[in-house]
């Protein structure tokens, strides 16, 4: 990637000073959901003329101008630590990916903890995948960021083991892949982590996995079998804590490419339309998908 622009540096500064403090000191998930929704609405920009359409499952459909109504579909699973976020918070990211690929995209909604702990989120995204298959539109690609990357891996493992059609490509952005092994210490030890404080993943584990052992493969995909899955591109910020998970996933999958971006924060892609580095990274994801169709 090229040198960071002024806009890139502005959003990195905001993540390091403001958003990191919010995640550290604001504990109630309902409050964080509101703040995250405001932040993403102000910090990302939808492609011109694209209006997401909500379906009966509260997911969002994205179709760029000029793209057929029956064009192939990308399934996108949003992040947010299993407790915040929605298809709407990630709309600029998903819309930009749909436009860059010239495909339709579907952002699935899933239930959030603490109101709905594991396995609610996993059940919901698997159901969304199966609905697309049953409708005759199995996803040609699946993508997800952070917790959504964890859920995307879980969907792929389920589809492979259940004999469902697999996508031709997968794209993961800073995926969570292992919720075991002292996750708080891993984040505390990542001295170049610009966004997520150690307190955040520790709180997430408490509300998302009450009574569930974090080494269970259906919780932490890295403890399961990651072979036999589609070609995968994994992007992460070079210094972030989840770059460790990203590298381990790439090694375990075999047919996976790890792409680390220096100087950026976790899931900088959320600032699509404003950050040149976000637009560039999404463009690379789109090129990876198109090359495998």
Instruction: Give CA–CA dist 245/240, Å, rounded.
Output: 10
Is the CB of residue 209 less than 8 Å from the CB of residue 219? yes
Q: Which of 90, 223, 240, 246 is catalytic?
A: 240
Q: Which of 241, 228, 261, 232 is nearest to 200 (CA)?
A: 241
Q: Which of 78, 86, 90, 146 is catalytic?
A: 146
Is the CB of residue 76 less than 8 Å from the CB of residue 125? no
For residue 166, give every residue at least 6 positions away whose Cβ sits within 8 Å of its Cβ, in sequence order, or none.
156, 159, 160, 229, 230
State residue 133's pLDDT score: 98
Q: Which residue has the tokens 């075991």?
A: 180
State residue 189's pLDDT score: 86
Count of CB atoms situated within 10 Å of the CB of 262:
10
For residue 252, give every residue at least 6 positions away whose Cβ sits within 8 Å of its Cβ, in sequence order, or none.
222, 226, 227
266 belongs to the catalytic site: yes
How far apart are the two ends of the chain, measured CA to CA in Å? 25
State residue 188's pLDDT score: 84
State residue 1's pLDDT score: 55
Q: Which of 90, 223, 266, 271 is catalytic?
A: 266
90 belongs to the catalytic site: no
For residue 92, give every residue at least 6 positions away whose Cβ sits within 8 Å of its Cβ, in sequence order, or none.
40, 44, 45, 46, 270, 271, 272, 273
Instruction: Give CA–CA dist 164/160, Å, rounded.
Output: 6
> Tens-digit pLDDT profile for the chain (293 aa)?
568 999 999 999 999 999 999 999 999 999 999 999 999 999 999 999 999 999 999 999 999 999 999 999 999 999 999 999 999 999 999 999 999 999 999 999 999 999 999 999 999 999 999 999 999 999 999 999 999 999 999 999 999 999 999 999 999 999 999 998 777 788 888 889 999 999 998 889 889 998 889 999 999 999 999 999 999 999 999 999 999 999 999 999 989 999 999 999 999 999 999 999 999 999 999 999 999 99
Instruction: Give CA–CA dist 162/180, Å, rounded.
Output: 26
39 belongs to the catalytic site: no
Instruction: Give CA–CA dist 205/207, Å, rounded.
Output: 6
State residue 208's pLDDT score: 95
State residue 2's pLDDT score: 62
């Amino acid at each position: 990637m090229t040198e960071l622009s002024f806009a890139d540096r502005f959003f990195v500064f905001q993540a390091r000073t403001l958003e990191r403090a919010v995640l550290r000191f604001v504990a109630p998930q309902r409050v964080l959901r509101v703040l995250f929704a405001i932040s993403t609405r102000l910090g990302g920009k939808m492609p011109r003329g694209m209006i997401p359409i909500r379906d009966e499952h509260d997911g969002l459909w994205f179709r760029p101008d000029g793209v057929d109504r029956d064009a192939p579909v990308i399934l996108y699973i949003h992040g947010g630590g299993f407790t915040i976020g929605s298809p709407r918070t990630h709309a600029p990211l998903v819309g930009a990916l749909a436009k860059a690929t010239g495909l339709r995209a579907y952002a699935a909604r899933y239930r959030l903890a603490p109101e709905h702990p594991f396995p609610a989120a996993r059940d919901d995204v698997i159901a969304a995948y199966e609905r697309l298959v049953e409708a005759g539109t199995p996803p040609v690609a699946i993508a997800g960021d952070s917790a959504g990357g964890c859920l995307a891996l879980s969907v792929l493992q389920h589809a492979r083991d259940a004999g469902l059609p697999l996508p031709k490509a997968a794209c993961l952005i800073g995926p969570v892949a292992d919720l075991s092994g002292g996750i708080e210490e891993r984040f505390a030890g990542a001295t170049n982590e610009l966004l997520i404080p150690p307190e955040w993943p520790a709180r997430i584990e408490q509300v998302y996995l009450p009574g569930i052992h974090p080494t269970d493969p259906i919780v932490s995909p890295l403890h399961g079998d990651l072979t036999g899955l589609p070609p995968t591109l994994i992007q992460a910020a070079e210094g972030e804590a989840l770059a460790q998970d990203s590298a381990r996933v790439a090694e375990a999958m075999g047919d996976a490419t790890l792409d680390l971006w220096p100087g950026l924060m976790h899931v900088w892609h959320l600032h699509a339309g404003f950050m040149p580095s976000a637009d560039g990274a999404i463009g690379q994801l789109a090129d990876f998908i198109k090359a495998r169709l």
